[in-house]
Chain A
């Protein structure tokens, strides 16, 4: 890590000529790389962005500043960037600006290292062996499970089941809990803004069991909470809701306001009618503190690859009494106790739902990602992203003829650090293509696995810029400039 910082010549004013558009690099010299990261209290996460951002060339002189210091303290983005080797690249001749984090996040060196260390030092099959390597692998794998359980504050480590991703976790609930508990006429309530992975498995299981899907529509581009309350009935058996929308960016505020999707209230109302609640936390777990006991959800799913972990891993949280009553999802080794010719007995959760050799390295990688995130602190990440999100939103709003989906941020309404938007008369794919080709800015265009939502919004597709804690305000500036240039290109060329 230190070696990469040595690249940058100390406090030379012409350093900016080497690094296109990244004046902030010189500030990194004074900040130690991640592994010597001081405790979170000493780093100010707040950024006085209302001031103009001047480059301070006597960078070497400053230590981590207090908010009252006139010199700008480095932002969380600047501090953490060196940990992500992939961000240091040139794409199509421009420095990469990676704004597609809602699709997948980048991985810090510590996670990449954990993966290769596993394979280099102690790769072995878990739970079965007696020898040294397999014991070590099993310990690491189960330690990863503990880490996940602590991360979401599960009461019991057995409540964490490793899956391939959040989609598989939802399918697990659908085919196991759903197939057992849903009867003809039972209702499943979802919002129209759900990701396809939260919709399609329920469509399949509803068809098999005769259950019925009911959707909460939008009002002013957020799910209509009043309509939701009206949809709940004694027939409702399950409520499926996102914690944070990957398009609308609405999320539960730290202090409850009542204007956006409050999971704890939803859980309350649902439990009163006897319904279970499954929360899709893919866009929340990576970005903020998620406490499953406080939210009192029955099921919660998340993906490793969106939270700095490797692909191929995800997890399902389920209350232990629920999981204990559920039949297996996939059958095979590991999830059994005894196997006879014509029947088998099954293991207790979590093993019951982890058939076959798991993605051991990936689970350990997820554990390493959690370690990394925890050492920064989810509160700090959330606070930084809140500011970044506001900055992104307001900068985007300044672009003429643009429409950003979801609520506008305010004191009571907090948005996630993503914006799905459309510009009049320009197709989002054209925008995304040009941003990439001519500016090296990576955004996504399409329906973002939320076709029903886009239909409800009245569009075919949208462009989406989604940020993570290693993105910086400067990148947002670059993006806005690039977007304006893109819009100009398409409006004049037409």
Chain B
């Protein structure tokens, strides 16, 4: 038991919790280190449990603690907005579970009541045994920032909602979208992260992320123009080979839970984008499949083309978190003369190149079947 504890300590120390494009991050890595101390200061200690009469009990509890340690070790703390980090620190400073619950209730009590006009189905969080409503709107003073309001008839759920509202309000949508749900484990509350129809906390967070992204997309053009000016330095680096960055991102997302927008985009505050793509992205959520079809048709003049959204098959794994509109995994089947004379790798590379912008915008993976007309017979 001791050896596995020490090995997980080693893992904590040695694993580089890096974001996809390290070279662009020198400015941020400086505050990565102090923020990572949050994980070390977690109340979960590396002591063996005291003996207890019940046989199976302590064994399971110890396993649970180890699992918790491993789980919290993989949380990318830099993805958590500062206000939420403060809240986490506050909870960690309260070691006793009962006191934590009191703290949670306290948050809930301070949450301003939601206007009854919003206590309707459109704002309801699905999958709560209690009733929970959440509302997102742009901060009137800072259009890039999202503000939330929420309410619930259950005191504990209201506490969780209040925590999310305080922690996430004021952050931009893209930051909110990338907050890993696992952060709740740092609070030390026994909160399940299993996606299920009854997981109120998870569903609350997801709905907030979804609503934030909706606001973002509505506001997309203005944001993009602003962002492009401030990010012109970064765009050169952004144009890397999407396939390689894809795999790197996959690798990292398997270890840590940074939601991979498949993205080579390094910026925390906004997503860099190209000017001409704004024409293609005008139609917001649901347009990805259409855009893929249009792009591929333009370039390949295929005899046959089939594009299928299979994101539902991947719902729940690391690559999909943070991408609220689901369109992350597609099957592409194309028969085109353009593939003639090209090896399989070259064909895939061709398609990935054509869909480069999508890959930067949240498309995670493609499953490609590329044939020439003669092969297809």
Docked CA distance A91–B54 (Å): 10
Query: Which A109-137 residues have C-beta < 8 A from chain B?
Result: none
Q: Is A437 an interface residue (CB 8 A)?
A: yes
B101 and A461 contacting across the interface, CB-CB below 8 Å: no
- B57-A429 in contact (CB<8A): no
Pick from B106, B130, B190 the residue with the most CB of A within 10 Å. B130
B157 interfacial contact with A, CB 8 Å:
yes
Question: Which residue from B53, B101, B157 sits with its C-beta under 8 Å from A489?
Answer: B101
Contact in complex: B155, A494 (CB < 8 Å): yes
Residue contact B52 to A429, C-beta cutoff 8 Å: no
Task: Let me know if A461 and B130 touch, CB within 8 A.
Answer: yes
Q: Do A446 and B129 touch (CB < 8 A)?
A: yes
- The answer on a CB contact under 8 Å between B155 and A445 is no
Asked whether any CB of chain B lies closer than 8 Å to the CB of A490, the reply is yes
Determine the distance from Cα of A49 to Cα of B289 in the docked complex, in whole angstroms: 70
Most buried by A among B52, B56, B57, B105: B57
- Count chain B residues whose beta carbon lies closer than 8 angstroms to a beta carbon of A: 25
Contact of B154 with A by CB under 8 A: yes
Is the beta-carbon distance between A438 and B130 smaller than 8 angstroms? no
Judge whether B56 and A490 touch: CB under 8 Å. Answer: no
Is there a chain B Cβ closer than 8 Å to A403's Cβ? no
Q: Are A427 and B101 in contact (CB-based, < 8 A)?
A: no
Digitize A75-110: 1 where CB-to-B-CB distance is under 8 Å, 0 elsewhere.
000000000000011111101000000000000000
Chain A residues within an 8 Å CB radius of B55: 88
Q: Does A493 contact B (CB under 8 A)?
A: yes
What separation, in Å, do the CA atoms of A18 and B52 have in the docked complex?
8
A18 to B109, CA, bound (A): 39
- A91, A433, A460: the one within 8 Å of B131 (CB): A460
Question: In the complex, what residue of chain B is closest to A7 when comparing beta carbons?
Answer: B53
A180 adjacent to chain B (CB < 8 Å): no
Instruction: State the CA gap A494–B102 with chains docked (Å).
Output: 9
- A461: nearest chain-B partner, CB-CB: B129
List residues of B (141-164) whose CB comes within 8 Å of A's CBs: 153-157
Partner of B53, one of A18, A430, A437, A460: A18
B52's closest neighbor in chain A, by CB? A90
Residues of B within 8 A of A90 (CB): 52, 54, 57-58, 61
Chain B 42-71 interface 0/1 with A at a Cβ cutoff of 8 Å (1 = within):
000000000011111110110000000000
Which residues does chain B contribute within 8 Å of A430, judged by CB atoms? Answer: 130, 154-157
Q: Counting chain A CB atoms within 10 Å of each CB, which of B109, B131, B155 scores highest?
A: B155
> Distance in Å from the Cβ of B126 to the closest Cβ of chain A?
14
Q: Looking at B52, B156, B157, which has the most chain A CB atoms within 10 Å of its CB?
A: B156
**Cβ of B276 to closest chain A Cβ, rounded Å:** 51
- Chain A residues near B61 (CB, 8 Å)? 90, 93
Q: How many residues of chain A are within 8 Å of chain B by beta carbon? A: 25
A485 and chain B: residue at smallest CB distance: B98
Does A2 touch B at the CB level, under 8 Å?
Answer: no
A436-455 to B contact mask, C-beta < 8 Å, 1/0: 01100000011000000000
Residues of B within 8 A of A19 (CB): 53
Check B101–A434 contact: CB distance below 8 A: yes
Q: For B154, give its contact among A91, A95, A427 (CB under 8 Å).
A: A427
Pair A493/B153 contact, Cβ less than 8 Å: no
A490 to B, closest residue via Cβ: B155
**Contact A438/B155 with A493-B102, A493-B105 known, Cβ cut-off 8 Å:** no
- Determine whether B97 belongs to the interface, using a CB cutoff of 8 Å to chain A: yes
Contacts of A461 in B (CB 8 A): 129-130
B52 contacts across to A, CB distance below 8 A: 90
In chain B between 81 and 135, which residues have their CB closer than 8 angstroms to a CB of chain A? 97-98, 101-102, 105-106, 109, 129-131
Distance in angstroms between the alpha carbons of A89 and B130 in the assembled complex: 29
Chain A 306-333 per-residue mask, 1 if CB under 8 angstroms from chain B, else 0: 0000000000000000000000000000
Q: Which of B105, B131, B154, B190 has the most CB of A within 10 A?
A: B154
Specify the chain A residue showing the minimal Cβ separation from B131. A460
A277 to B131, CA, bound (A): 37
CB closest residue in chain A, given B189: A437
List, in ascending order, chain A residues with CB within 8 A of B131's CB: 460
Contact check, A429 vs B97: say whether CB atoms are below 8 A apart: no
B98 closest partner in A (C-beta): A438
| A residues 411-470 in Cβ contact with B at 8 Å | 426-427, 429-430, 433-434, 437-438, 445-446, 460-461
| Assembled-state Cα–Cα distance A121/B341 (Å) | 62
What are 10 A-B residue pairs whose CB atoms fall within 8 Å in the complex? A18-B53, A88-B55, A88-B56, A90-B58, A430-B130, A430-B155, A438-B97, A438-B101, A493-B101, A493-B105
A-to-B contact residues, CB < 8 Å: 18-19, 88-93, 95, 426-427, 429-430, 433-434, 437-438, 445-446, 460-461, 489-490, 493-494
Taking A429-B157, A430-B130, A490-B155 as given, write out 18 further A-B residue pairs in contact, using a Cβ cutoff of 8 Å, ordered by the A residue number. A18-B53, A88-B54, A89-B54, A89-B56, A90-B52, A90-B54, A93-B61, A95-B54, A430-B155, A434-B101, A434-B156, A437-B97, A437-B190, A438-B101, A490-B105, A493-B102, A493-B105, A493-B106
B-side interface residues toward A, CB under 8 Å?
A: 52-58, 60-61, 97-98, 101-102, 105-106, 109, 129-131, 153-157, 190
